[in-house]
Amino acid sequence: MLKVVTRMHRIAIIFRLLVNQFAVLETMTALDFFDFREYLSPASGFQSLQFRLLENKIGVADSQRVPYNRRHYRDNFCGHDSEALLKSEQEPTLLLLVEVVLEEPRFQVPFQLLTSLMDIDTLMTKWRYNHVCMVHRMIGSKAGTGGSSGYHYLRSTVSDRYKVFVDLFNLATFLVPRHWVPKLNPNVHTFLYTAECCDSSYCSSEDSD
């Protein structure tokens, strides 16, 4: 579990770096962008196979996707790419694995894992939002180079429809003040502390990189 938490934290850091890259792109003016935009046509960011695979692996449901040019998102790919996307839809997702883990909760380490998952979800949303803002700034409401409605389509993807772990965010609704939470029985506290230390020691010795 500690290794999983470490990897999730690493992924969150990578996403944070990706989000910050927009600051570099935004140093261009709209006219600077128009100087080479025509060379991008008919390419589109929607054609990024890896990003679609990433969405599927994390757990973006097919039913939650916004249609692209009134077509199923997989119809924009062909051959091995389309097969890879279909396969990724049929494989276990990160969301599914987390739901299995939650059936046997163990406090601090799972808490760190869930926090990292929310970080990743938040950073993906920020990436989409920064992308929308940059597109609006560079081309206004013009159509995208791939034939989509551009800004309007991208804006529709910045919503909870694409937030995979929305239930984790909603948990804050049920939080109560700390002084309302009853203290653990000393025996239970000792048992949990000992068990957690044993797990941590085992993971660090068996799963260390």
Contacts from 82-89 at CB under 8 Å and sequence distance 24+? 84/49, 84/53, 85/49, 85/52, 85/53, 85/56, 88/52, 88/53, 88/56, 88/57, 89/56, 89/62
The pLDDT tens digits for 91-106 are 999 998 888 776 665 6
Within 10 angstroms of residue 33's Cβ, the number of other Cβ atoms is 16
Tell me which H or E stretch contains 118. Answer: helix 108-139
Residue 196 token pair: 């957690």
The C-alpha atoms of residue 150 and residue 155 are separated, in whole angstroms, by 9
| Residue 190 clears pLDDT 90, i.e. is over it | no
Confidence of residue 57 (pLDDT cuts 50, 70, 90): very high
pLDDT at 106: 61
| Residue 80 clears pLDDT 50, i.e. is over it | yes
Fold of 2-174: Methane Monooxygenase Hydroxylase; Chain G, domain 1 (1.20.58)
Percentage of the chain exceeding pLDDT 70:
89
Tell me which H or E stretch contains 207. Answer: none
The pLDDT tens digits for 158-170 are 988 889 999 999 9
Q: Which one, of 55, 53, 59, lies nearest residue 92 by Cα?
A: 59
pLDDT at 89: 93
The pLDDT tens digits for 130-139 are 999 989 999 8
Residue 106 CA from chain centroid, whole number: 24
When the pLDDT of each residue in the chain is averaged and rounded to a whole number, the result is 84
Residue 8 token pair: 């999730």
Q: Which one, of 129, 174, 172, lies nearest residue 154 by Cα?
A: 129
Confidence of residue 39 (pLDDT cuts 50, 70, 90): confident
The pLDDT tens digits for 20-30 are 998 898 898 88
pTM over 0.85: no
Is the four-CA dihedral 67, 58, 88, 54 of positive or negative sign?
positive
pLDDT at 122: 93
The C-alpha atoms of residue 43 and residue 29 are separated, in whole angstroms, by 21
